[in-house]
Amino acid sequence: MPLSPLPLSPQQVLYEQVANRLQQLITDGTLKPGDRLPSVRKLRAQLSVSTSTVMEAYRLLEDRGLVVVRPQSGYYVKQTTLQLPQEPTPTAPPRHATDIDISLAFEVMSLMRDPGLIQLGAALPDLAMLPLAQLNRLMGKVLREEPTLAHGYGSPLGLSTLRAELAKRMLDAGCSVHPDQLVVTNGANEAIYLCLQALTQPGDTVAIESPTYFAMLEALKCLGLKALALPTHPREGISLPHLEEALQTGEVKVVMLVSNFNNPLGSCMDDRKKKRLVELLNQYDRPLIEDDVYGDLCFAGTRPKAIKAFDTENRVLYCASVSKTLSPGLRVGWCAGGRHHSDIAHRKSMINQHTAVPAQLTVAAFLANGGYDRHLRQLRRTYHEQMLRIQQTIRAYFPAETCVTRPTGGHVLWLEMPKGFDALRLYKEALTAGIAIAPGVMFSASGQCYGNCFRLNTAVAWSDELEQALQTLGLLAKKQLAEQLLREDH
């Protein structure tokens, strides 16, 4: 990547011109997050400037938060403060509880099993990134070691060996829960369903974030519950002032949300907010169902704490799974039900007795053998890279008006187009082009919001096909916006 000499610009000092040139390369994706910047010597030669000018330019970029210096190594494009598309604003769903209307979800989800589609719709993990060979080896091993245990009736709570491992993992989320206070479930979905069933009667209202993971909406619908969708910030999560207002009315029976790297917004509440939320729950004597299925997938730093970590009165029902980190097909999740633990265990046994034993044995073996942390490090790095690359590609190909979330973990992006944009039309046109996306209306409890939004799964290995798919989506979006403008002109 040789740079041509800079044109003279009397308005700017030289080192600023050099810095801006490099910044351009970063924001348009030529220099990618983690890439090393050209060496001082090389850049000096290419641009015909002095060493001190290059050094000044690099310092400026460092000040701007775009690059980091690694001693003895050089300057690198920073991972996190990359120039990204603009962010969506906090949401403002209708201010009353509604029945659930999500007829579209079942159709969209069924597309995820079509191998002919580029899968940007469902929030599928990238199976190529999961330790499947190791899991399969372990499953063979546990069946040899426990040829009978794997087939007998088990406890509704799940295997004690698995629960011990899960309790250990929960320490990373700041939660100290005894293994006997856990119930192993068929994925986090079932955990959420059981919690809702234990806490509610049909007709009750549940306060949720908005947009909301549609499987949560389906669980509400299945149990005849109403949703009070609350304004939600794309980075910080649910609005606590709005939540408190709703709690004050006494209308809300239960609060339910995804605490870390929420689906679809990617929001992550900070510790202060988590603590404040628990205080509100205590004050208004309400339970919280916390879904922390993405918490292990943070891109940087230590794993964020769960809200459960701040739970002083055992009123947070914590739900998680290994579906996003190890294997969706094994269907292993769990629930720490707090004061509702016994009721949840009983309901688990009433619905399907217990979770399949071979899957439990396998996950327990994987968590115990010590490979999980290593696997997570790799997964986090890859998912981060994939997401950044997709964000940049969106910036390159999508209409300038496109707002995109900036999650710090997980593997979904939420895109907001200008009002009037029809994401359902985009969904259909994309399907015709062999691309699955998840239209925003699926994430609206009332089925009335987010018609101009959609969600993209970013747990997809980079490929020319993927780039082409994103380009196609961008073109389709641009075409629709142009038509919209034309109509508005008339």
CB of 222 to a second copy, least distance (A): 4
Whole-angstrom Cα distance, residue 265 to residue 234?
5
Residue 73 structure tokens: 């190594």
CB of 327 to a second copy, least distance (A): 4
Query: Closer to a second copy at the Cβ: 146 or 401?
Result: 146
Among all chains, which residue has been given the structure tokens 């989506």? 473
Whole-angstrom Cα distance, residue 150 to residue 357?
5
From the list 345, 351, 375, 380, the residue with the least C-alpha distance to 363 is 375
Query: Closer to a second copy at the Cβ: 142 or 167?
Result: 142
CB of 428 to a second copy, least distance (A): 22
CB of 141 to a second copy, least distance (A): 10
Q: What residues line the site for a second copy (CB under 8 A)?
A: 106, 109-110, 112-113, 122, 124, 127, 130, 132-133, 135-136, 139-140, 143-144, 147-155, 185-187, 189-190, 193, 197, 201-202, 215, 218-219, 221-222, 323, 327-331, 346-347, 349-359
CB of 330 to a second copy, least distance (A): 6
Whole-angstrom Cα distance, residue 190 to residue 348?
9
CB of 354 to a second copy, least distance (A): 7
Whole-angstrom Cα distance, residue 203 to residue 334?
26
Query: Closer to a second copy at the Cβ: 187 or 234?
Result: 187
CB of 128 to a second copy, least distance (A): 9
Taking a C-beta distance cutoff of 8 angstroms, is the pair 365, 138 a contact? yes
Query: Closer to a second copy at the Cβ: 147 or 241?
Result: 147
Taking a C-beta distance cutoff of 8 angstroms, is the pair 138, 485 a contact? no
Query: Closer to a second copy at the Cβ: 155 or 472?
Result: 155
Query: Closer to a second copy at the Cβ: 151 or 178?
Result: 151
Query: Closer to a second copy at the Cβ: 189 or 405?
Result: 189
CB of 448 to a second copy, least distance (A): 21
Residue 7 structure tokens: 């044109």
Query: Closer to a second copy at the Cβ: 193 or 261?
Result: 193
Query: Closer to a second copy at the Cβ: 53 or 355?
Result: 355
Query: Closer to a second copy at the Cβ: 29 or 358?
Result: 358
